[in-house]
Every structure is written in structure tokens, then in C-alpha cells.
Amino acid sequence: MTDPFTLSFILVLVFLVAALYSSVGHGGASGYLAVLSFFAFVPAEMSSTALVLNLLVAGVGAYHYGKAGHLSWKLTWPFLITSIPLAFIGGLLKVSDITYYLLLAAVLLAAAIRLATAKSVSQGDFEKTNLKLSVALPVGAGIGILSGIVGVGGGIFLSPLMIFMNWADPKQTAAVSALFIWVNSLAGLGGRFLRDAVELHSLWPLVFAAFFGGLLGSYVGANKFTGLMLRRVLGVVLMIASFKMAYAVL
């Protein structure tokens, strides 16, 4: 894979990404992709690794947020109806390396803006708005297809929208995002398996770092605090990675 020093550095970064993202119910795929992009991994390996780590971390997050009583199936299923098949189709699609890198740069930039501009919102500081099926279905479809192509779970797009539209409070949003990410990551990975495009050579050393990071972050996020300042710092890192990806292909 890489020399021991570089591998150790990557493991530390993956642990931090998993802990920070899982504290708000995310799997961390955009963060893993940013880390791997700095070390010149090939697209197939990057997306496959990010999706598998996403499954692990988002699964732990869904468990912790669900156990804490924050998961609402009523808020989750409308997005899943269209996101699951579209994420699978996205995983089936083969795009050029240039297209992949440009899409990834856009995703990283969106994630960076979301994290760097995150605000501390209290549980009761909003008036809840009912989620309409006519809105949830196209939203799920759009996030699903992009997630499948790039190799993310889509929570980085869904959670700010849920907060902005007042569909759920922060804890419910994190819980819905965690389950949404887990299901979409599985669907996207399934599409890649079907076209024999899954490369996991660099995965296994990262599993433990992601697992323990996700375990810590999701527990703290579900029961303690959200780590606002740390997410903003991570947002700056993702923005740098986004510009790096775009500069490399333009």
C-alpha cells in the first residue's frame, strides 16, 4: 500500500475524520476521499474504500442515534424510496477519471461549505415543517445518483437541507442522515460490485481507525455535544482538497 510512516499518518487522519463526521450522523466519505486524494490513490480505490468505511461508521452512528431515541422512520423512508435505486445505478455508471475528479471536487467543496459555516442550533430552536412526499422523492433521487457515482452516502447534502427546511431537529437530522448514508453506501457499493469495479487493497488497515473513530464520535454526538469548531476546521481542509482536485484536472 504505502510506507509505514505514510500509512500511520493516513490512519490518524481517517480516525479523526470518522470521529468528527460521526458526531453529526455522517459516515465521513467526503473526508476519506479528501484524505486519499492527497496521497494520489486511483478513483476506483478511493470510492470503494470510502463507501466501505462509510458503511462501518454510519452503521455505528445509526445504532447510537437510534438507541438514544432520535431516529424517525417517518422522516427517513420518503428519501430512501428513490435514493436506493438511484445510488445503485450511480454505482453502475463508469465515468472518466476527469469527470470523477471534477464531481468529487464539487462534492468536497459542498461538504467544506457545509462544515465551515455550520452553526450551533439548539434542539428546540425551530418550528417544525411537515415533509412532503413530492419534495422528498426528487431530493432522494438526486442525492442518490450523485452519491453512487462519486462514492459518498449523501448525508452531507441531506442534513443541511433538513435543517434549512425545518423538517427535523439536529439530533433527528443526524439519525436520519446516518441511516440514509448507510443504505445509499450499500447500494452504491452493490452497483460497483456488479460491474466489477471494487478495489479494496488499501481498505483493511483503515477499518479499525474508522471504526473506533466512528464509535467515539457517534456516542459523543448522540449523547454529549457536536464539536462545532472541529467541524469548521475540517471544512477548511476539505476546501483545500477540493481546490487541489479541480486544479489537477483543469
Predicted local distance difference test score (pLDDT) of residue 233: 61
Predicted local distance difference test score (pLDDT) of residue 240: 73
Number of domains in the chain: 1
Answer whether 177's CB lies under 8 Å from 79's CB: no
Task: Of 154, 217, 139, give the one whose Cα is nearest residue 186.
Answer: 154
Predicted local distance difference test score (pLDDT) of residue 53: 92
Predicted local distance difference test score (pLDDT) of residue 42: 80
Q: Which amino acid is at 166?
A: N
pLDDT beneath 70, residues of the chain: 1-2, 115-127, 200-203, 224-234, 237, 248-250
How far apart, in whole angstroms, are the C-alpha atoms of residue 119 and residue 229? 10
| Cell numbers at 119, concatenated | 452553526
How far apart, in whole angstroms, are the C-alpha atoms of residue 9 and residue 196? 30
Domain span including residue 210:
4-249
64 φ/ψ angles, rounded to the nearest 5 degrees = -65, -45
- Residue-wise pLDDT tens digits, 38-58: 887 788 788 888 889 999 999
Number of CB atoms found within 10 A of residue 250's CB: 9
- Residue-wise pLDDT tens digits, 143-192: 999 999 988 888 888 887 887 788 988 788 888 999 999 999 999 999 98
Question: How many residues are present in the chain?
Answer: 250
Predicted local distance difference test score (pLDDT) of residue 127: 65
pTM, rounded to two decimals: 0.81
| Cell numbers at 82, concatenated | 428513490
